[in-house]
Amino acid sequence: MSRLNDYHLPAWARGDLFLFLLIFVGVLRPQLALSEAVVVSKSPKAQTNRAVMKKKKVAAQSAVVGIEGATVYVSPDFDSQVLAALPPGLKIQASRKMFPGRGGLGLFYRVRYDKRNHGYIADTELIPEFKKKGKRPTKNPVYEDVEEMRERALNKMEPIYFTRFFGVVGGVANYSEKFGGKTFRSQELMYGLRFTGPGVLSEVLPVDLFFLFSFKAPKYYDSFSTPGTKTSGFFGLLDLSLLLPLMEENHLTLYGGLGLLVTYAKFKVPIANEFLDSQEVRLGGALTAGMGIRVAKWILRGDAKYYYEATSYLGFWGTLQREF
């Protein structure tokens, strides 16, 4: 009022101005606010945006559509508007929390089925990455299996068990022979070739074929030879086994095996002033326990084998193979 007095307004003018301010603040301003609210309420886009802004963030997980034509609803309600029908195998983002359906009918996941759009899918039509077990979520084994199949399909990848590999193998055998009722042993380095998978001997049956060689006589032959001389010769193992997968993923396999063993040995042993030629073929069996790690078209294997023929011994092998 002091600023009004500075302009020396007459009393009647000051009264009219005060009345005008009262009318503006008390009547016109609420009318403006009301008109703004009406405009917002009539804008569906604005309503949706505000509703999304007010929604609390929900922990997300990956999920795969489990059926043909999985229905996306606008809300967790089977009678609500249908937004989309999704194909099986489609990978999407879903909430970890499940929402009860309207009227207690069903449970729903909130999903993002493309970059912009959200909706709700019934839990029976989705394969989530996690399953709630007790208070803590645990990995869903069905989802992991589906992901493996998806990866195989995308990369045109066959299961390891049904893939044919060829490569080199090397390792140590605790090789043994029996002479005069006594068993002699020595650790011998051996190396060779390995074929694994279907198409080695049969197009249907996956097998494992080892060719292993050592181009020197075992160390215990030195005890038979004339001092200062060396036994010459070689020996080899041919091992044909049927592998049985114990656990297999796209890039890892654990397996056992049972097969036939053929051992061939040919040595020339110097005794006194003569040479004794020794040549022998022995038949037996082999048990296998191993694992393989696949990287692209290559696989690295580690195997432990128990051989049984005239004597029994162990072998430990490392293999590098490639698909062919």
Can you tell me the distance from the alpha carbon of 169 to that of 191, in angstroms, rounded to the nearest whole number?
6
Question: What's the pLDDT score for residue 138?
Answer: 85
Residues 171 and 306 in one domain: yes
Residues 102 and 250 in one domain: no
Is the residue at 47 inside a domain?
A: no
pLDDT tens per residue across span 155-200:
667 888 889 999 999 999 999 998 888 899 999 999 999 999 988 7
Residues 170 and 151 in one domain: no
Which among 271, 260, 265, 186 is positioned nearest to 227, based on CA atoms? 271
Interval 114-130 mean pLDDT: 90
Question: What's the pLDDT score for residue 30?
Answer: 37
- Judged on CB neighbours under 10 Å (0-12, 13-18, 19+), 14 is middle
Residues 274 and 245 in one domain: yes
Question: What's the pLDDT score for residue 259?
Answer: 96
58 vs 75, which has greater pLDDT?
Answer: 75
Residue 293, φ and ψ in degrees, nearest 5? -120, 120
| Cβ neighbour number for residue 231 with a 10 Å cutoff | 23
Cβ-contact 27, 33 below 8 angstroms: no
Can you tell me the distance from the alpha carbon of 110 to that of 119, in angstroms, rounded to the nearest whole number?
6
Is the residue at 46 inside a domain?
A: no
Is the residue at 317 inside a domain?
A: yes
Residues 266 and 129 in one domain: no
Domain boundary among 109, 131, 155: 155
Among 51-55, 207-211, 284-288, the least confident range? 51-55
Interval 210-239 mean pLDDT: 88
The pLDDT > 90 percentage for the chain reads 46
Q: Is 52 helix (H, G, I), strand (E, B) or coil?
A: helix
Interval 248-277 mean pLDDT: 89
Question: What's the pLDDT score for residue 213?
Answer: 95
Interval 143-166 mean pLDDT: 79
Residues 178 and 306 in one domain: yes
Token pair of 168, please? 């080199």
The tally of domains found in the chain comes to: 3
Is the residue at 206 inside a domain?
A: yes
CA distance readout (Å), 91 to 87, 143, 146, 180: 10, 11, 10, 69
Residues 176 and 308 in one domain: yes
Token pair of 78, please? 């089977």
Among 119-133, 206-220, 305-319, the least confident range? 119-133
Domain boundary among 128, 155, 182: 155
Question: Which structural domain, as residue segments, surrounds residue 68?
Answer: 56-155
Given a cut of 50, whether residue 34 has pLDDT beyond it is no
- Eight-state DSSP code of residue 78: T
Quick one: which H or E segment has residue 272? none
Residues 172 and 276 in one domain: yes
Token pair of 124, please? 């029976």
pLDDT tens per residue across span 45-57:
334 433 433 455 6
**pTM for this prediction:** 0.58
Residues 134 and 210 in one domain: no
Domain boundary among 91, 126, 155: 155
Question: What's the pLDDT score for residue 155?
Answer: 66
Can you tell me the distance from the alpha carbon of 97 to that of 3, in angstroms, rounded to the nearest whole number?
62
